[in-house]
Amino acid sequence: MIQAYQQRGSRKNRVLLHVFFWMTVWFITSFVYGYEKQPVFVALESNLMLLPVHMIYFYTVTYVIIPKYLLKRKYIKFFIILLLFAVVMPLITRIIDIFLVEPNLDAYLKSFGYTWEKVQGTKWERFSNVVYYLNAVKGANFVVWIGVAIKFFKSWYQRHHAALQAELNLLKAQIHPHFLFNTLNNLYALTLNNSPKSPEIVMGLSEILRYMLYECNVENVSLKKDVEILENFILLERMRYEERLDFNFTKEGDLEAYQIAPLLLLPLVENAFKHGAGEKLGQAWINIELEIKNEILTFKINNSKPEKIRTLIEKNGNIGLGNVEKRLELIYPDKHQLKIFEEEDMFAVILKIDLSQRLNP
């Protein structure tokens, strides 16, 4: 029932858009292609007579000729039929001009004692006038192909948006099993040692998964809420490493005032724990700084480097960071900076996002 209601609403919106388009065409053509020495109301009346020709031409090309021939790669038939319409429709326009539009305008001009040269001669002479016909060709095709161009752009945009959204959903979905795999590994290690912290980890994991499954199916989430989930994850990880990890997390700025694409920061923290603390023998450290200033989110994270020197990006199994890079390119094009540094004893990632002008796919 809800789906049917949404479909009716969508159809209604399409009808309203088409009505608006043709109303716009009517007004514009009345001023641009209106006859000389006629007031606005006469031009509107004249172009209203020609509007059905434009509409028939447009809908035939858009919903019959293009889908039936062009999209099915029947190119020869497409060009022949299209050429036929491009020739015939202006002829129909000239017939309407000669029998309806021009007599109406001529009568108006005669009431002011003005003789209009265009209506001089027989109907056949006026119909066969090449200049008048070429003007009709220009008028008919200009309106129609403007409409076709708008239709094609709209279709391209919708498909492009759908493709981007599908890719984003896939990237977001990859976070769930990646995060779950790492956390279950941590839980398994604790249960092997009969750690009393195991139930607490299960509860923390449940809260994070609930957020991922039920609150992240939107384009934006509260930055404050996303950071809270980040802190829950950090708490679970710190339980595992206990005193072996030196950890610092500082926050500055009003987190409640901004929104962000969900789960962008979590993979960066995952990487720091996995590649910094998880693979380093002895004492490990992780420092995280989050700052909101002038509507710019700055997220800095650096961690101790594993003794086996391997580049963070190239490391086998590092899904998270590559995932973040792709999502940033899709969601915040030209509105983010992601820098990765590798030194002898540390990795560092600096992410900056302009939260004032988020660009949706």
For the chain, which residues make up each domain, given as ranges? 2-128, 167-354
Res. 331: pLDDT tops 90: no
**Distance between CA 65 and CA 2 in Å, rounded?**
34
Res. 320: pLDDT tops 80: no
Kind of pairing between the strands at 245-252 and 284-293 = parallel
Res. 347: pLDDT tops 90: no
Q: Exposed, middle or buried by CB within 10 Å (0-12, 13-18, 19+), for 21? A: middle
Task: Give 343's pLDDT tier (boundaries 50, 70, 90).
Answer: confident
The CATH number of the domain covering residues in 167-354: 3.30.565.10
Of the chain, the percentage scoring pLDDT greater than 70 comes to: 74
Task: Give 217's pLDDT tier (boundaries 50, 70, 90).
Answer: confident
What pLDDT is recorded for position 334? 84
What pLDDT is recorded for position 1? 43
User: pLDDT of 129-139, one tens digit each?
Assistant: 888 878 778 77
Res. 200: pLDDT tops 70: yes
Task: Give 309's pLDDT tier (boundaries 50, 70, 90).
Answer: very low
What pLDDT is recorded for position 263? 82
Query: How many other CB atoms sit within 10 Å of the CB of residue 33?
Result: 17
Averaged confidence pLDDT in the chain: 76
The residues that bridge with 348 in the sheet, in sequence order, are 302, 341
User: pLDDT of 229-286, one tens digit each?
Assistant: 888 888 877 877 777 788 899 999 999 899 998 888 888 888 888 776 655 556 788 9
Res. 5: pLDDT tops 50: no
User: pLDDT of 239-252, one tens digit each?
Assistant: 777 777 888 999 99
Res. 354: pLDDT tops 80: yes
Contact 141, 86 (CB under 8 A): yes
Tokens 């949706």, residue located: 360
pTM above 0.75, yes or no: no
